[in-house]
């Protein structure tokens, strides 16, 4: 090229050399921040390092010491060519800007990576610390990571129907919800919101309703229906309709939360908007956002604050604990190492204390659907079954202080409750035009959501209010109720834990005896009133 012969070419070559040098990996000795070990290290090692990130808008979450102002944080950020997103009242904020500026401000490398599924994301292999200048205003910082190893918590495919499968009436009978339905509590005026990664075929919903002798229904869709159809959302909708056929069902497209960075900020925004549009609804999540060891408690602060606001409007929220048999940190496709101690963990969103996490069971009934027995669900190989465990992110909440487990005495325990998840003993549904059986903890979560709609109606009809933040009430009932409100599950195991009498890390407090539980929740609610 002729430019090489001109004086300006010298400058061009010099710039090129400098750019090439800047693209080289930084020496580890240049940073004091500690290297992050465990599942995040596994994720990065399984990905191709593309060098220093060129992202134009990278971000991380910070926890604040006060929720009324962020003047010093904003001033500090502006001096480093960064911006701050914050809403008054929130105890967290987002610091964002060009990756190179964010890296310089927090003294950590930020690189681009190409994952095994060809996804490109930015991440820092080192954990940033609170800058000294912000020590009085910022208490902690999260991870710099724009990829979330999300999941749909379900078996690979629904099973063909064996001789039996839970019909709507059998499902009501199994969990002793039939008395509430007979009293007219069938979901009138109530709303169930499903946060989903996939779509559904309306023809399957119509076929299910016709097969079950229930009214046809068309869900409300928020954010556009996801293009892919895997049967997850179809199962969630049909299970809920079987229990609460008069409830309005809403599908919120959660796929954008895992497209690019800011996953938990985006999820918080979805929660906030759902709470605004459908106040007092019951939420069901049959999807997951990855192993909690990949993130920090600060990263989940936006989710917790949105859940707390929704609770105040009467919302109860349920999340599937996962189907990886306690190896939630092994559940992502990006992890290639054999199972080990670092693979033991729980789903990040299911672990927050404000979420009611739902484990899974294998169910035995008579031909009429009357409950006979339940045990913790595990399939062969043992890598598939109900998940649960102890989160490392959150201290033991007050509502769990009365339960114990040998594995840990100081942190949040997962799950809280359980329902049928075994795809051989699951709920009859229609998928791709075929009658099949659903399964997974993703079946258990909408079961609990729909049953809570019925219990809400019972409680309100008897002078109470929407149950809202359900966990404190559930554990209060379990600690001392007049009626047997839970079916205790003390058989079964997964890859990590064994079911036991009382609370366990596979099925929580157990499955519900709904008619009794509704009465006891009303009593517990009345006992907590000033």
The model's pLDDT over 259-280, given as tens digits with 9 standing for 90+, comes to 989 999 999 999 999 999 999 9
374 lies in a domain?
A: yes
Assess whether 381 and 494 both reside in one domain. yes
Assess whether 388 and 335 both reside in one domain. yes
Assess whether 455 and 503 both reside in one domain. yes
8 A C-beta contact, residue 393 and residue 351:
yes
8 A C-beta contact, residue 419 and residue 175:
yes
User: What CATH number corresponds to the domain at position 341?
Assistant: 3.40.50.200
439 lies in a domain?
A: yes
Assess whether 361 and 232 both reside in one domain. yes
Kind of pairing between the strands at 356-365 and 417-420: parallel
Residues β-bridged to residue 359 = 418
Domain final residue, candidates 101, 123, 141: 141
Domain that holds residue 78: 33-141
176 lies in a domain?
A: yes
Assess whether 168 and 129 both reside in one domain. no
Assess whether 136 and 160 both reside in one domain. no
pLDDT digits (tens, 9 = 90+) for 113-161: 999 889 999 999 999 999 999 999 999 999 999 998 887 654 444 455 4
Asked if residue 379 has pLDDT above 60, the reply is yes
Name the pLDDT band for 394 (thresholds 50, 70, 90). very high
503 lies in a domain?
A: yes
7 lies in a domain?
A: no
213 lies in a domain?
A: yes
Asked if residue 94 has pLDDT above 70, the reply is yes
> How much is the mean pLDDT over the chain?
90
Neighbours of 77 (CB within 10 A): 22
Assess whether 385 and 490 both reside in one domain. yes
Assess whether 82 and 175 both reside in one domain. no
Give the pLDDT of residue 4: 32
CA distance 446 to 390: 23
Which parts of 41-128 are beta strand (E)? 48-52, 58-64, 83-85, 92-97, 111-114, 120-123
Assess whether 326 and 368 both reside in one domain. yes
25 lies in a domain?
A: no
User: What CATH number corresponds to the domain at position 86?
Assistant: 3.30.70
Assess whether 83 and 168 both reside in one domain. no
pTM: 0.92
Assess whether 267 and 128 both reside in one domain. no
23 lies in a domain?
A: no
Domain final residue, candidates 141, 172, 204: 141
Domain final residue, candidates 104, 121, 141: 141
Assess whether 464 and 335 both reside in one domain. yes
The total number of structural domains that make up the chain: 2
């Amino acid at each position: 090229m002729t430019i090489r012969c001109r004086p300006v070419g010298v400058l061009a070559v010099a710039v090129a050399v400098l750019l090439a040098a800047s693209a080289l990996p930084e020496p580890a000795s240049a940073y004091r921040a500690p290297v992050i070990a465990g599942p995040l290290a596994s994720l990065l090692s399984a990905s191709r390092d593309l060098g220093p990130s060129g992202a134009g808008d990278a971000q991380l979450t910070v926890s604040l010491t006060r929720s009324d102002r962020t003047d010093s944080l904003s001033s500090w950020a502006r001096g480093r060519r960064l911006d701050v997103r914050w809403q008054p009242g929130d105890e967290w904020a987002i610091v964002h800007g060009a990756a190179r500026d964010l890296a310089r401000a927090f003294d950590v490398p930020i690189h681009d990576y190409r994952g095994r599924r060809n996804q490109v994301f930015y991440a820092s292999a080192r954990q940033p610390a609170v800058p000294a200048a912000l020590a009085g205003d910022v208490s902690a910082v999260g991870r710099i990571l724009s990829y979330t190893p999300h999941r749909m918590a379900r078996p690979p495919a629904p099973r063909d129907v064996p001789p039996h499968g839970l019909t709507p009436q059998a499902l009501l009978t199994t969990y002793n919800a039939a008395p509430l339905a007979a009293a007219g509590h069938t979901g009138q005026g109530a709303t169930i919101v499903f946060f989903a990664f996939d779509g559904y075929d309306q023809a399957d919903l119509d076929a299910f309703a016709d097969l079950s002798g229930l009214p046809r229904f068309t869900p409300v869709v928020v954010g556009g229906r996801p293009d892919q159809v895997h049967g997850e959302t179809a199962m969630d909708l049909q299970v809920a309709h079987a229990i609460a056929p008069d409830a309005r069902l809403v599908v919120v497209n959660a796929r954008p939360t895992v497209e690019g960075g800011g996953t938990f900020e985006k999820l918080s925004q979805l929660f906030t908007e759902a709470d605004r549009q459908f106040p007092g609804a019951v939420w069901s999540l049959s999807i997951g956002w990855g192993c909690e060891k990949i993130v920090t408690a600060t990263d989940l602060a936006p989710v917790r604050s949105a859940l707390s606001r929704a609770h105040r409007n009467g919302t109860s929220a349920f999340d599937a604990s996962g189907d990886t048999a306690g190896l939630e940190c092994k559940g992502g496709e990006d992890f290639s190492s054999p199972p080990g101690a670092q693979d033991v963990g729980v789903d990040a969103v299911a672990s927050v204390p404000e979420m009611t996490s739902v484990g899974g069971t294998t169910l035995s009934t008579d031909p009429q659907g009357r409950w006979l027995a339940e045990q913790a669900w595990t399939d062969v190989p043992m890598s598939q079954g109900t998940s649960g465990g102890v989160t490392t992110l959150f201290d033991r909440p007050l509502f769990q202080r009365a339960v114990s487990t040998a594995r840990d005495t100081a942190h949040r325990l997962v799950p809280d409750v359980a329902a049928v998840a075994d795809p051989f003993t699951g709920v009859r549904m229609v998928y791709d035009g075929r009658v099949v059986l659903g399964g997974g903890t993703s079946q258990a979560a909408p079961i609990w959501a729909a049953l809570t709609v019925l219990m809400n109606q019972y409680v309100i009809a008897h002078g109470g209010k929407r149950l809202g933040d359900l966990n404190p009430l559930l554990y209060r009932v379990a600690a001392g109720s007049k009626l047997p409100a839970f079916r205790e599950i003390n058989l079964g195991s997964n890859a990590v834990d064994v079911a036991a009498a009382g609370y366990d890390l596979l099925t929580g407090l157990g499955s519900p005896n709904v008619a009794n539980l509704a009465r006891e929740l009303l009593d517990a609610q009345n006992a907590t009133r000033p």
